[in-house]
Amino acid sequence: MIIVDNIFKSFGENQILKGINTTFEKGKTNLIIGQSGSGKTVFLKCLLGLFEYEDGCISYDGKKYIELNANQKRDLRAEIGMVFQGSALFDSMTIAENVMFPLRMYTKQSRSEMEDRVNVVLNRVNLSDAHKKMPSEASGGMQKRVAIARAIVNNPKYLFCDEPNSGLDPRTSIVIDNLIQEITDEFNITTVINSHDMNSVMEIGEKIVFLKDGLKEWEGSNKTIFKTDNEAVTNFVYSSNLFKKVRRMYLEENA
């Protein structure tokens, strides 16, 4: 569980985050959504410890980040898995070597132990025959699955995903969403996803935080988002005619 208590973040005189309070729950897919410029990317980087914030506190299962020393912060980073927007695979490494990288960085396992763990996670994301391939030989969907395998190889407590469906076709996006959901449930991870994909919101948004102008405008779930009267949320989520029709149908059926 990650508890966010009154977080403020500025760049010079430009205040980006303006007192955000929320909780990201363990074993659930927690989504951060909002328009460009809403502060969601800065918020994600604060959660990752990449940006220092001026005021407030972020706690990871009771450990307050601002109270940790350098070694404790390093230990916390070892408990974090990250899926980057563009997958961020190393072009010069094979898929197996990419997945092994966090183990080499954060553990003292033997080569055979690391290889065994890589086999486990590549099997988990249905890439059991891809070890020797280079990232350039993998499709966009395969690269995302490699990125997920790398993110979970070190048995993280926290999984962060930055636009995991960016650049993928709708069918592949559903596969990635389902995989993230399954892994979250299976390993009881606190998963936080920065997303603009409304399919992800509807399918796996167990907890949704909507940001607007650096403020938490609304929070709920994919079940309660249909019912909200918050105009900013409905304008964002139901910007297409298709989703407007889906919402009308839902409201009519549940009237």
List the structure tokens of 1. Answer: 């569980």
Residue 166 has pLDDT above 90, yes or no: no
Q: What is the mean pLDDT of the chain?
A: 90
Mean pLDDT across 174-197: 91
Listed in sequence order, the residues at least 6 apart from 220 whose beta carbon sits closer than 8 Å to its beta carbon are: 208, 228
In 3D, which of 97, 207, 101 has the Cα closest to residue 151?
A: 101
54 close to 62: Cβ distance less than 8 angstroms: no
Write out pLDDT tens, residues 91-107.
999 999 999 999 998 88
Neighbours of 58 (CB within 10 A): 20
CA–CA dist 12, 57 (Å, integer):
20
CATH 3.40.50.300 fits 2-225, yes or no: yes
List the structure tokens of 247. Answer: 């919402």
CA–CA dist 7, 215 (Å, integer):
10
Looking only at the bridges linking them, the beta strands covering 55-60 and 2-11 are antiparallel
Write out pLDDT tens, residues 169-180.
888 889 889 999
33 close to 208: Cβ distance less than 8 angstroms: yes
CA–CA dist 165, 163 (Å, integer):
6
| Confidence at residue 57, expressed as pLDDT on a 0 to 100 scale | 95
Annotated domain spans of the chain:
2-225
What residues pair up with 192 in beta bridges, in sequence order?
A: 30, 160
Q: pTM for the full model?
A: 0.88
